Amino acid sequence: MTSGTTRFPRISTAFSGSALALLAATSLALTPTVAKAENSGGFAKKSVFGFNFFKTTAPKGKLVAKIDLSDQRMNIFVNGRRYHSFKVSTARRGYVTPTGSWRPTRLHEMWYSRKYDMSPMPHSVFFKGGYAVHGTNSISRLGSPASHGCIRLHPNDARTFYNMVKANGRRNTTVKVVH
């Protein structure tokens, strides 16, 4: 053997073929459980031989997120059917959450506010300029006005909404803010 070369043992075709057949038969014979994990954000986890696979379970169709400023709640509808209702925090005194209807302009799994001291905004769905629906660490304030204008959600709820928007697409999503 010359320097710089490595010899690898050959695996017979019969062995490699039967090993693949055994693996396929075993994975088909075992029916792994598929369970929707709590706060999974619209994804179901499937485990096969200790490996986790994720499959989207987010309903497909016309997605509408209706934020009610007076109730401090966001209801998520798909094709007219309500799937989720989350507590939110919108603009506190001296700030404004705009009312109206928009399509999301961009999505970021993690964003940092350039305007407010690089504050983390996990699972951001931007809908009008710098306004977004996003997660917050200030979960004790959810259900009452507390933000600079964005719509804050519990981090798990923000992940759920973010994943639903990703699964349905920005074109099929409407963010509607009402009084």
Q: What is the CATH number of the domain that holds 71?
A: 2.40.440.10
Q: Mark whether 44 and 68 lie in a shared domain.
A: no
CA triplet 174, 141, 147: central angle to 5 degrees? Answer: 55
**Within-domain flag for 30:** yes
Domain tally, the chain: 2
- Higher-confidence residue: 56 or 60? 60
Mean residue pLDDT across the chain: 81
Are 17 and 105 contained in the same domain? no
Highest mean pLDDT among 8-12, 22-26, 82-86: 82-86
Cβ-count burial 133-170 (b if 16+ within 10 Å, e if not): bbbbeebebbeebbbbbbbbbbbbbbbbbbbbbbbbeb
- 93 in the same domain as 25: no
Structure tokens at 23: 């693996």
Token couple for 109: 């799994």
pLDDT of residue 176: 98
Using CA atoms, how far apart are residues 50 and 44, in angstroms rounded to an integer? 15
Q: For residue range 144-179, what is the model confidence (pLDDT) as tens digits?
A: 999 999 999 999 999 999 999 999 999 999 999 999
Domain hosting 83: range is 63-178
Question: What confidence category does residue 24 fall into, taking pLDDT thresholds of 50, 70 and 90?
Answer: very low
Mean pLDDT of 73-91: 98
Asked if residue 104 is part of any domain, the answer here is: yes
Clarify whether residues 36 and 117 are in a common domain.
no
Same domain, 46 and 72: no
